[in-house]
Amino acid sequence: MPKNRVIPFGYCMRNGEITTDLKEVYAVATIFSEYLNGSSLLQIAKLMESEKIRYTEDYDHWNKNMVKRIIENEKYLGTDKHPQLIAEDIFRQANEKRVRKATTLNLISNDLHEIRKVTYCAECGGKLFRKVNGKGREYWNCGNPDCFKYEYRMTDQMIIGAALTVLNSVIANPSLLEYRGEVSKYSPGTEMIRKQNEINQMMDSAQPDFDRIKSEIFKFAEMKYDCCTYDENPQKTAEIKALFENQEQLNTLDIGLFKACISRIWISHFCTIEVEFVNGVTIKNITERNDKNAHSAECHDNSC
């Protein structure tokens, strides 16, 4: 691990005074120039290592935090003890960009927070994560290390657009929400079958014990009740259809409507997004991608 520098990078001590180190001054100027030209902090750190520039006398490895500290160090503008290394306009531009990127990386809208809570990988069922690349552009990917990564850049707008398209489709045609499953289902197990056979044998006995048979029939009724499942999805269908009643087509995503009726968003590795409603109905939206789309990726020979 590197020792903390007593004197900031770019400076050295000579004859009891702080002065400039020419090689480090060149490195500082390069760092600001590369950053303003679009290089990421990590890319700049690798550049410093490739140029064999030492961060300290005994440490030649760089990381993005070292680069960040240099970009935000106001001493490079000049102080009573430190000669000026960077012009004020260059320093200002670099730090405005740094703050802007930090905001983009760490703060996303409340709408995206809600969408991220319910967005999953269609292949493995894992949660998707959202990150921002070195160019400040967001992308979504599967957080499961055992699942393969997307071969295209899934953007905020692709997910929001898919959800908006599905909601508008339901507004135009509410019958898409119709639930076609069974309201209730009786699924007897082996214990139920054994109990039914036992009661039948007691009934067929030459001298049936009616009190015991009655008691067993009541037990059997309780067991049958426990084996019955009631599906609430038809009721949920009626509730969410009421939300869409008299709803006009949406120009932007209504996050309140989204939260009330959508339980999952499933994104596959093959350019499809499925929106699952709280009643279990799933509607698929195929995301079209082409070279004219700013958010598209090149498929080359990929059949997706």
Indicate whether 173 and 253 sit together in one domain.
yes
Amino acid at 283: I
Whether 106 contacts 99, CB under 8 Å: no
Range of the domain at 102: 11-106
Predicted pLDDT of residue 151: 79
Indicate whether 165 and 248 sit together in one domain.
yes
The DSSP H or E segment spanning 218 is helix 210-227
* Residue 140 resides in a domain: yes
Indicate whether 42 and 95 sit together in one domain.
yes
The rounded distance, in Å, linking the Cα atoms of 33 and 240 is: 55
Indicate whether 197 and 223 sit together in one domain.
yes
Indicate whether 163 and 243 sit together in one domain.
yes
Q: Which long-range contacts (CB under 8 A, 24 or more apart) does 145-148 make?
A: 147/121, 147/123, 148/123, 148/269
Indicate whether 222 and 120 sit together in one domain.
no
Indicate whether 25 and 72 sit together in one domain.
yes
Indicate whether 143 and 117 sit together in one domain.
yes
Instruction: Tell me how many domains the chain contains.
Output: 3
**Average pLDDT of adjacent 10-residue blocks, the chain of 304 residues:** 72 93 95 94 94 85 92 94 95 90 60 90 90 78 84 88 93 87 60 80 84 83 69 83 91 92 92 90 65 37 39
* Residue 26 resides in a domain: yes
Indicate whether 153 and 123 sit together in one domain.
yes
* Residue 300 resides in a domain: no
Indicate whether 40 and 82 sit together in one domain.
yes
* Residue 270 resides in a domain: yes
The DSSP H or E segment spanning 268 is none
Indicate whether 155 and 249 sit together in one domain.
yes
* Residue 296 resides in a domain: no
Predicted pLDDT of residue 12: 93
Predicted pLDDT of residue 93: 95
Predicted pLDDT of residue 304: 38
Q: Read off the pTM.
A: 0.49
* Residue 293 resides in a domain: no
Indicate whether 102 and 117 sit together in one domain.
no
